[in-house]
Chains A and B, each alone.
Chain A
Amino acid sequence: MDKAVLLALEDRCTYEEPPACQSFCPLHVDARAIVQKILEGKPAEARKTLDRQMPLAQLAGWLCEGACRERCLRHGLDSGVNLPLLELYVIQNSKTIKPFPMPASSNKVAALGSSLGALVLASELSRKGHKVTIYLTGPQGGSLLKVLERAPETVLAETWDLIHFLGNSIETAPAQTPEFLAELLGQYRAVFIDQGDPSVSPSALGLTAEELVIDPVTSGSLRENVYLAPPSSVDRPFLAALVAGKATMGSLDRFFQGVKPNVAREKEAVFPTTLMVDISQAQPEEAIDPVNPFEPTADEIKAEANRCLKCACQACLAVCPHLRYFKGYPKKYAREMYNNIITAYGIRTSNIIITSCLECDLCKEVCPNGADVAEFVRKARKEMIDTNHMPAAAHEYALEDLLSANAPDTAFFRSAPNQEKSERVFFPGCQLVAARTETVLKAYAHLNQTLGSVGLMSSCCGAPARWSGRSGLTSQVAKTIRHLWAENGEPVFILACPSCQLFFQAELPEIKIMSLWDVLAQLPPPAPVQSLALTLHDPCAARYDQALQKNVRRLLTVFAPKFTEQKFSGRLTKCCGYGGLGAHANEPLGFAFAQDTVAGGAAPLISYCVMCRDRFSQTGAASLHLLDILFPEGDLPAVMKRAGANLTEKRDNRRLFRRLALSAFWREEEPMPTPPPHEIVIPDQLWAKMEKRRVLRSDIESVIAEAAKNGPLFFNQISGHSLANLRPRQVTFWVEYEKDPAGRFIVHDVWCHRMVAPGSPGEGAESPATLEGYARTGGRV
């Protein structure tokens, strides 16, 4: 995979960007984390966060001027969160932890003046082993003495203790002259002039105005090895002093290691963040006014911390269970998936992230930057297939189902009865045929009666192949449809399934298509009006098809006028969990999607994709397919509570559809399927297990047939049960059964696995044919 694909997605995701308070803080204090720790009642933890960015926090916490407040997104709403007050609370409710002294280096630095800049430089540089000698030019503490009047006396004393503890020393400057500065520059590797101390006189030291221009990145000056803190007359002098002390430390640390002082410092300056934050739901809340602003209480501080909007880009996380399930966000996902793809040796731990994405595009729609995870997943899947790294089990059942739906005993194409070629062909789609066999026949009869010259084609369009990234199989299925279309006079295809529509648009653009719902909206009504209150769900495959959405609403307005919209609908609709074959690769996640989507509607749901309908039904929600109200089969309240067809029934129903349709409309009588030679009883409770394990009744029948012919493999002398197995494809099926006196085979359990054990079927066998190969030989319509 081209790295540009990764970078393009990474660039669009702003999740990792800092909030404005942090990006515009000259120190980049992580206010969000501090707020979080305060709200958790952990000021000591908040202090650790503060200490990481704010040097000498025990002192600086009294002095911070809160540059963040005017950048806080609350600023436009009421007033920015009072972070300086939170910082004060944090330092008052935590201990200053003395660092472990580093071995002293031979690099020594002098600082002239003793205000905040000099103290910060001494504290920060000595933590790296470089000692600083502070030369007093006036009262110890410089300008700090006055501002700290409201602070306990111990604050400054403790700071000096720490400066001493770290191995720094204090001298008194004999005089401020150019000679003294030259002497210091000869004696020390660098000199820091703290202009924040009013007793420091740069002009007396012989520094010209030009030399006092401070480099904003390094805090250096035009005089070699002279670094500067700005005078206290600048805007927010204490933050400026903190930055100067920290920046000088960064410069000297580089200098001592032979690195240029301005290398790799891009992230130190303030910058506008690109983090996308939605504050449309935020309510105004006035800042708290503490009784004692120099000693806020825990309650006051929590109230202020609660005003923080916790700025974060949550747009996709709020709507996508997949992102929440894997605790990711698009940027992280992109890296994990990319690393997974380029892994040459070792375990590809993120396969499951790629295989279980629904490719539903909702994340792209809600992302303010349009970060397109689904497109990345599509590329990743294709590459996994092309390089033979797609886990075989991930989407296998769905692909087998495709092949089964397109097998000669199931699929067919017929022009309208008594016509050689038709103007139109109804293509209901394999899932609808499987789930609503009789209803689809009624719909076809209606189309033929009212529209005339409508043929019928039953097969899978190929969507599962496309979802799984198998381009070979996708082309093969599309080619078959194209061939039949061309051979039969290029009819217009009438499609019922939104996923089929997407497939045709992408893979068969030459075929003119119409939506069944568009056609039905223009025909005489087939059914009575329903008085049910229903909630309409748009399938994710219809997300971008506004005409389709409109036609469905036109039909519902006539036939179920009491319908309402889902919370998420149209372009923002949610997926039921089936899209992208996600539920096949990760069933629990697929179920979470269905639950999440069902939660968006109160009344029984109605969808125009039968997979949505059946998946909603699996969560226990009452749901209907649009055909259910247009061509009702029995009592609708009962239909909406009915479980969907199981996997075995679906395959049987597709074959049944062929037999019924060919018989009813073309008078082609097909022989009834041969019943299995043995009567097999599968208890009701076993079906749920079979569904979960993707075991079909035909799999059990094959195992029993083998056992009946050659005897079981094992026998239990206590229970009287027999055990047999068979490996019809890459899976070995085991069936535990007993034969009752009537000669029936009573199934007690069934399980399967992909590994091969000695003496088991499949041992020593060649690898089964690829799905593409299978398609070529078995996928003829």
Chain B
Amino acid sequence: MDRKIPDIDITGWICHKCQSPLTMVQVNVTYMGASFEVELPSCAQCGLTMIPEFLAFGKMLDVEKLLEDK
């Protein structure tokens, strides 16, 4: 997976618990024992990560399929 996913629109979104804005942060996503570093919108304070719809059915789905075929 590319480390940076372009054009993630996080306008207006804040972490509900911390009330902090989201920033793009390198995080580890994992599946089937493999992990990837990817830049995702996350809470600046608690690090909670948001996975937007277009990513879930775009690149993330591609990588899930790839890992399942591994």
Which A residues have a C-beta under 8 Å from some C-beta of B? 346-349, 351, 391-394, 693, 711-719, 722-723, 732, 734, 749, 751-760, 763
Contacts and interface: CB of A to CB of B under 8 A. Distances in A.
Given A391-B69, A713-B48, 17 more contacts: A346-B70, A348-B70, A713-B17, A714-B22, A716-B12, A716-B14, A717-B13, A734-B53, A734-B56, A751-B56, A753-B64, A756-B30, A757-B29, A758-B48, A759-B43, A759-B47, A763-B30
B56 A717 contact: no
A713 B69 contact: no
A640 to B, nearest CB: 34
10 contacts: A711-B17, A713-B15, A716-B13, A718-B12, A751-B53, A755-B63, A755-B64, A758-B28, A758-B29, A760-B51
B31 A755 contact: yes
Given A751-B57, A753-B56, A754-B64, A760 B49 contact: yes
Interface size class of B (residues with CB under 8 A): 35 or more
B47 A758 contact: yes
A349 B69 contact: yes
B40 A757 contact: yes
Contacts of A759: 42-43, 46-49
A296 B55 CA distance: 61
B7 to A, nearest CB: 17
Interface of B, secondary structure class, is mixed
Interface of A is mostly: loop
B8 interface: no
B5 interface: no
Nearest to A390: B68
Interface of B: 11-17, 22, 27-32, 40, 42-43, 46-51, 53, 56-57, 60-61, 63-66, 68-70
Contacts of A351: 68-69
Nearest to A749: B53
B42 to A, nearest CB: 7
B61 A758 contact: no
Contact of A714 (B15, B40, B61, B68): B15
Contacts of B47: 758-759
Contacts of A392: 32, 68
A347 B42 contact: no
Nearest to A754: B64
Contacts of A754: 31, 64
B59 to A, nearest CB: 10
List of 8 A-B pairs having minimum Cβ-Cβ separation, nearest first: A718-B12, A391-B68, A759-B48, A753-B56, A757-B49, A751-B53, A716-B12, A755-B31
Given A734-B53, A755-B29, A758-B27, A722 B68 contact: no
Contacts of A393: 64-65, 68
B42 A713 contact: no
B12 A734 contact: no
Contacts of B68: 351, 391-394
B12 to A, nearest CB: 3
A345 B13 CA distance: 42
